[in-house]
Amino acid sequence: MTPAEIAEAARVTGGGTPETRTAPGAHRAPDVLYWLEHAWYDNHVEPGVTLGAAAGDGRITEVRTGVPAPPAGATVLRGLTLPGLANTHSHAFHRALRSTVQVGSGTFWTWREFMYGFAARLTPDSYHALARAVYAEMALAGITAVGEFHYVHHAPDGTPYADPNAMGEALIAAAAEAGIRITLLDTAYLSAGLTKHRGGAPLERHQLRFSDGTADTWAERVSALKDSDHALIGAAIHSVRAVPAEQLATVAEWAEARRAPLHVHLSEQTAENDACLAVHGRTPTRLLADHGVLGTRTTGVHNTHLTDEDITLLGSSHTGTCMCPTTERDLADGIGPASRLQRAGSPLSLGSDSHAVIDILEEARAMELDERLRSRRRGHWTAASLLHAATAGGHAALGRPEAGRIEAGALADLVTIALDSVRTAGPLTRLGAETAVFAASAADVRHTVVGGRHLVRDGVHALVPDVPQALAESIAALRG
């Protein structure tokens, strides 16, 4: 369809003025062309949009609005197409715990002991198989990029594998085979808890495989990992429990030197706060601030039990906040002050963490609904704001600010939500953002596109044809 034909079609059908936005330097026809029945574009629902993508770098080359019918050769995406969703915080092996840990009662700490049992059984091969299936499940849920908070580094007794990064490389390969992008947040985990003694508490048996011994040794190992088109290498501090105060700066400086993302579990449990106050006389947030950890490339995960000063420190430094509501409620962690953090200046993102469910739309909805329960007031975020946290906010936290929006020059990562399912049918199309956030679920994802490649088509994964079977087999293998 020529520009003149597009303009005439828009005039005949009563559409708006057609518009074409082209990436700088684009001189040829796109390698891949999609027609979006409805798109979340410029912060509103736009009907009839064509999107071209280049095969080489997987970026959007042009976006045209006012196209009422699919042009010849275009792949049709019916429903509402959003930028690809970002899962900012994942522990892939936790997927094996789903439902199993729902038997009985307990706390985060009893859940943790159960989790250690599964961590002890992982090998590079079994972790690859499980992560490949988990990342394929994410693709089916519209997730195009994941932040993998990775701390299972070595053999169960703490001995490094022949390739010291065998476990991390297994995760990187798994993401590639499942077709999604990964930011491997390689995690420093050096002690079992806070003590007044230098070096922290000695590691417990199940924690030996998490540790490199010192932050310097951790940095040496992680430096051998390299960025690629689909994988970025970032850093993580497991928590102030697991990295002694005198070694925090080493991790922060490694990330700063590489301009890499740096994530940290922060104040998820009140016990962590109590121990930090007892040992250091300050909160975990203040401890991180004093050792140079906070900043624009840093994201605190959970940020649940914070003081007013903590919120000010995180906001004024523009340290991000990744909320994981389905895990935080599953583990009875509490409700973090997300709205106050955002108002203070902390950008928000979302993660599925322990994978009680894998559904970033549910995480977005839960952040708002949890805040309603606490405040007894509705409407803390607009649907557009929640979509931003689920897309651009998450991609930025993972070191990909070029993702998370539909515009020329951005990564061609997309997810299409059905507007005709039993959950989504009925609302006006212009309320597509509200429908996606407050009614839809991962089950309504119809298509997923990564780098212009049609990865999930009509709910079927192109690379992992039977995702449920892959999950069942890889999890069964860990039960022994």
| Amino acid of residue 441 | S
Dist CA 356 CA 328 (whole Å): 10
CA 20 – CA 32 distance, rounded (Å): 16
117 burial (CB, 10 Å; 0-12 / 13-18 / 19+) is: middle
**3-state SS, residue 268:** coil
Sorted by sequence, the CB contacts under 8 Å of residue 373 that are 6+ apart come out as 335
For 171, list phi and psi in degrees, rounded to 5: -70, -40
Q: Is 353 an annotated catalytic residue?
A: yes
Choose among 216, 272, 287, 209: nearest CA to 247: 216
- The one-character DSSP state at 420 is S
Cα 408 vs. chain centroid, distance in angstroms? 23
Residue type, 442: A
The token pair that represents 206 in the structure block = 């199940």
Distance (Å, whole) CA 44 – CA 194: 48
pLDDT at 11: 31
Query: Phi first, then psi: what are they for 356, rounded to 5°?
Result: -55, -40
Selecting among 186, 212, 310, 353, the annotated active-site residue is 353
Q: Return all residues near 389 (Cβ < 8 A) that are at least 6 apart.
A: 323, 348, 349, 350, 364, 367, 381
Q: Are 105 and 440 in contact (CB under 8 A)?
A: no
Cα separation, 478 vs 226, in Å, equals 29
Q: Residue 305 to residues 10, 74, 132, 310, 341: CA-CA distances in angstroms?
A: 53, 50, 34, 9, 12
Write the DSSP string, 329-382.
Answer: HHTT-----HHHHHHHT--EEE--BTTSS--HHHHHHHHHHHHHHHHS-S-SS-
Residue 8 pLDDT: 34
**Pair of tokens at residue 262:** 């740096």
Side chain identity, residue 333: D
Cα separations (Å) of 87 from 59, 97, 268? 20, 19, 18
Q: Is 185 helix (H, G, I), strand (E, B) or coil?
A: strand
Per-10-residue mean pLDDT of the chain, 480 residues long, equals: 36 48 64 97 97 95 98 97 98 91 74 83 97 98 98 97 98 98 98 92 95 98 96 98 97 98 97 96 98 98 98 98 96 95 98 97 98 95 98 98 98 98 98 98 98 98 97 91
CA distance 375 to 370: 9
pLDDT of residue 28: 60
Beta carbons within 10 angstroms of residue 426's beta carbon: 11
230 in catalytic set? no
Catalytic hit among 302, 380, 388, 447: 302
Residue with tokens 């409620």: 329
**183, 261 in Cβ contact below 8 A?**
yes
Token pair recorded at residue 337: 């002050």
Q: What strands lie across the sheet with 60-65, from one edge to the other?
A: 19-22, 60-65, 44-53, 32-41, 75-83, 414-417, 445-450, 453-457, 460-461
Residue pair 150/127 in contact by the 8 Å Cβ criterion? no
Q: Which residues pair with 448 in a beta bridge?
A: 415, 456
In eight-state DSSP terms, residue 419 is S
Strands 85-90 and 75-83: unpaired
Residue 271: helix, strand or coil by DSSP?
helix
- The DSSP call for residue 59 is B
Cβ neighbours, 10 Å, residue 176 = 18
What is the Cα–Cα distance from 295 to 318, expressed in whole angstroms? Answer: 6
* 428: exposed, middle or buried (Cβ count in 10 Å: 0-12, 13-18, 19+): exposed
Quote the radius of gyration of the chain (alpha carbons, Å): 22
